[in-house]
Amino acid sequence: MEEGQRSLLATSLAHFINDGLTGIIPLMYPVYITVYGISPTTVLILAGLQSVFSIVISPLIGKKSDTSGKFAQLMTIGLIIFAVGAAGYATSGLVVQGLALVVFLLPFTVLIAVGSSFYHPLGATVLREKWKSEGLGRAMGINGSFGSVGRVVLPFSATLVLASFALPSLSVFAGLSLLGSLAIFFMLRRVRFSRYVSAESGRRRFWRSLLPDWRLFRRFLPLTVLSFSRGFFTVGITPAIPLYLLLVDHFSEFQAGIAYSIMFGAGIISQLLFGYLQDRLGKRIALGISNLGAVIALLVFVLSQSPLAVEVSLIPFGLFGYSAFPLLLGLVAELTSPGEMTSASSIVWGMGNTTGQAIAPLLMSLLALPALFGSLTAGMFAAVFVGILSVVLVPFTRGKIR
């Protein structure tokens, strides 16, 4: 198997695991509320903190990978950390409950944040280096579809497991993810990657690596802001969707889990579709179509009254909303030289998309306080507004490699 095919297979499996675990975590939130008595506001704050800590680590990962070229090791380390954090979320209720459970979950929140921040910039750079530009969009679309398959298969399986067993049983998915991460390492370890950035020495290199490259940050500011708005109104509200279905639409936990899984199922098609469209129509046109479609679908979801309409509206939301990997990081590939790809991706994805993911659940938890709106609906309308911003910003993402 040639290096391009091996890199696509390995990164697709990594995307499957990373996004699958990401999809499982929110299914635990209703259990925290109904079984362990944690408030919805506290649960959403924990969800937001996962992304907050991820923002801090992203620049370090980007610079480290560009400096070392050790993509196999870094990708494996990230998935292992993520799996350990997910296992902690599943089993913490066996140790403590009540307020102590919230405190006990904090270190696992950090692990989830750190582990989940590795894959996307690393995976995009691996594909960019091993695939020619004319086929990169399709390769990233195939890769992204595996992420969406993970978001369907693992949450759907987790829903069935939760229907029969208690929350700690979900730790089995963390164990399987650990095995998968080792397989990824062995597939990628013989693939050669370039080292583009000369390593500085001493303490200065470490502290500087925690900060983004200002030149790149300034150049990618419009795309980073767009990535923020998209992350806010798509992935950012994902942790709240099972809670919204449970508390606002009065679905059962099982019904909410199935609807949630179906939503991600549409993303399997969208990753392939938008990976293809960006090669045929151009990256910005494809991104604009995706953003606009997701905004309209989210508005229909919030306004829908019948259970059937709610479920149906989640399908186009998943179709248009979960296609960021080929679209956003495809634009990064277009606007960067190979030596700055991961660092730029960590800015656009880690500081943009992930910041949106962090703020969305925190804002929704704030608006849901009884002193304000007392419902998750206000946060959903706020997400629609931010989504409109992501459509408006698309024409401002033009630039050139410097």
- Per-residue pLDDT 10s for the chain (402 aa) are 576 677 888 888 998 999 889 888 888 888 888 888 888 888 888 877 877 777 767 666 666 666 666 778 888 888 999 999 999 988 888 888 778 888 888 999 989 988 887 887 777 777 777 676 656 667 777 887 788 788 888 888 888 888 788 888 888 898 999 999 899 888 877 766 655 544 444 444 544 555 556 677 777 888 888 888 998 988 888 878 888 888 888 888 788 878 877 887 777 777 777 777 777 787 788 888 889 999 999 999 988 888 888 888 888 998 888 877 777 777 777 777 666 777 777 778 777 887 888 788 888 888 888 878 878 888 889 999 999 988 988 887 765 544
- Asked if the structure places residue 392 within a domain, the reply is yes
For residue 67, give its domain range: 3-189+204-397
User: How far, CA to CA in Å, does 380 sit from each of 55, 128, 154, 295, 339?
Assistant: 23, 35, 25, 11, 39
Q: What is the pLDDT of residue 81?
A: 92
∠ CA 278-283-285, rounded to 5°: 95
Q: How many domains is the chain built from?
A: 1
Query: What is the distance between the alpha carbons of residues 309 and 293, in angstroms, rounded to a whole number?
Result: 17
Q: What is the pLDDT of residue 297?
A: 92
User: How far, CA to CA in Å, does 390 sit from each of 9, 49, 139?
Assistant: 31, 23, 25
Coil, strand or helix at 373: coil
Q: Which of 283, 36, 18, 33 is nearest to 136 (CA)?
A: 283
- Asked if the structure places residue 196 within a domain, the reply is no
Q: What is the pLDDT of residue 298?
A: 92
- Asked if the structure places residue 169 within a domain, the reply is yes
Helices (H), 281-353: 283-303, 307-321, 324-334, 341-345
pTM here is 0.70
- Asked if the structure places residue 143 within a domain, the reply is yes
- Asked if the structure places residue 278 within a domain, the reply is yes
Q: What is the pLDDT of residue 203?
A: 44
Contact 222, 396 (CB under 8 A): yes
CATH code for the domain of 227: 1.20.1250.20
Contacts of 223 (CB under 8 A, 6+ apart): 328, 331, 332, 335, 348, 352, 397, 399
- Asked if the structure places residue 209 within a domain, the reply is yes
- Asked if the structure places residue 402 within a domain, the reply is no
Q: In the structure encoding, which two tokens stand for residue 273, read together?
A: 């579709």
User: How far, CA to CA in Å, does 316 sit from each of 266, 295, 360?
Assistant: 7, 10, 20
Q: Which of 228, 226, 237 is nearest to 353 (CA)?
A: 228
Residue with tokens 């045929």: 280
Q: In the structure encoding, which two tokens stand for residue 377, read together?
A: 């609906």
User: How far, CA to CA in Å, does 366 sit from each of 39, 89, 371, 378, 392?
Assistant: 12, 23, 9, 10, 26
- Asked if the structure places residue 197 within a domain, the reply is no
